[in-house]
Amino acid sequence: MTLPPAVLFLAMASPRQFVDDITKGRFKPVYYFYGSEDYRRTEAEKFVADHFLPDLQRSINYLKIDCKKTSPAELAAALANLPMLGERQVYVVGSFDSYKPKDQEQLLKYIKPKDPNRVIILSTPSAKTPRKDSVFFKTISAVAEPVEFKKMEASDAHDTIVKRLTKNKLAIDADARELLVGLIDGDRGGLESELNKLIDFKSEGGSITIDDIKKVCAGYEIFNIFELGDVIVQRNAPRALKMVQSLVGAGTNIDYLISQLQAHFISLYLVKNGKAPVGNRNFGFLLAKFRNQAKSYSNQQLEEIIIALDEANVELRHKRFTEELVLETLTFKLINRR
């Protein structure tokens, strides 16, 4: 993909500026949503549709297209359908990065003509967040306004937990709050889900404890990743494969699952060599679990696992094999390490 020598890139809007603009009825013809927080990105897509489309048009003119399941020609045909007189459209085009650069470049030409009655949102999932100095990011930013949705800061998560629980006449122990913040690791969608479960679980006037979180949130990714790590240590292939299939079957995105496994095993490697784990995984209760699990691996084994996960990521990106085959192969590579 080539760039014009003097291309002017649109300024990036913060989520706060984006919300302010939409609330005031100021819409851009094309947006590019990306970043480490999928939940906020999805909510922002709905936010645009709710404010741009009249009530009677939302059911038919809010169109979502997955580029992994749609050919470039099919997407071009869809974008060629301009809204009829008096109507509006919102197109959400997900996984735009999955197309080849030449196809991306050609499709962006369809998008350039501005139409005041249409908003197009291009997006990439968190696992495929591009670098800002990449050709892909610069090219798409020349056409669309980029909006980056980052994970919550720990302080924001603390405030959200306290406010939400207080509103529902609940308190939370300090150590339980730290545990929950560590578990959600900046994932706003995960936090909302876990708070809903805790509110339903606990009676008004009570205080949420660590035991409550372990009971209610036991199915959350980070516990599953640790448990999967234990199963890999035991070299229990059938159980490991069943766990992986269960996670995917429960709605966990495969790209996201692999990225979480990568972060987990990189953290094990770092902790084994006296360094801090990745991201928000350095809470006391997690650090102890990392140290305990890291004892079961050698540095060479951890390096082999990290390489195997990276290879699986490449295979998924280039669609060399089906997702099911990539997962099965990856699982047996993790189990059958030297």
- The pLDDT tens digits for 94-107 are 999 999 999 999 99
**169-183, 246-260, 284-298: least confident range:** 246-260
What is the domain class of 154-216 according to CATH?
A: mainly alpha
pLDDT at residue 279, as a whole number: 67
Instruction: For residue 245, give both structure tokens.
Output: 């299939």
Whether 3 shows a pLDDT value over 60: the answer reads: no
pLDDT at residue 6, as a whole number: 34
Which residues does 168 contact at the CB level (< 8 Å), separation at least 6?
199, 204
Question: Which among 147, 190, 132 has a CA at the least distance from the CA of 47?
Answer: 147
pLDDT tens digits, one per residue of 76-129: 998 888 777 678 999 999 999 999 999 999 999 878 767 889 999 999 988 789
pLDDT tens digits, one per residue of 249-283: 655 677 777 888 888 899 899 999 988 887 655 45
Which residues does 328 contact at the CB level (< 8 Å), separation at least 6?
241
Q: How far apart are CA 252 and CA 244, in angstroms?
A: 10
Question: DSSP code of 13?
Answer: B
Q: How far apart are CA 310 and CA 258, in angstroms?
A: 8
pLDDT at residue 301, as a whole number: 87
pLDDT band, residue 5 (cuts 50/70/90): very low
pLDDT band, residue 207 (cuts 50/70/90): very high
Can you tell me the mean pLDDT for 274-297? 73
Q: Is the dihedral of CA 30, 78, 38, 304 positive or negative?
A: negative
Whether 133 shows a pLDDT value over 50: the answer reads: yes
Question: Which among 126, 158, 138 has a CA at the least distance from the CA of 10?
Answer: 138
Considering the chain, what is the average pLDDT of its residues? Answer: 83
Q: Where are the domains of the chain?
A: 15-148, 154-216, 221-335
> For domain 15-148, which architecture applies?
3-Layer(aba) Sandwich (3.40)
pLDDT tens digits, one per residue of 20-63: 999 999 999 999 999 988 888 988 999 999 999 988 888 889 99
pLDDT tens digits, one per residue of 182-203: 777 677 877 888 899 899 999 8
Q: Does domain 221-335 have CATH number 3.30.365.10?
A: no
- Mean pLDDT is highest, among 173-177, 224-228, 326-330, for 173-177
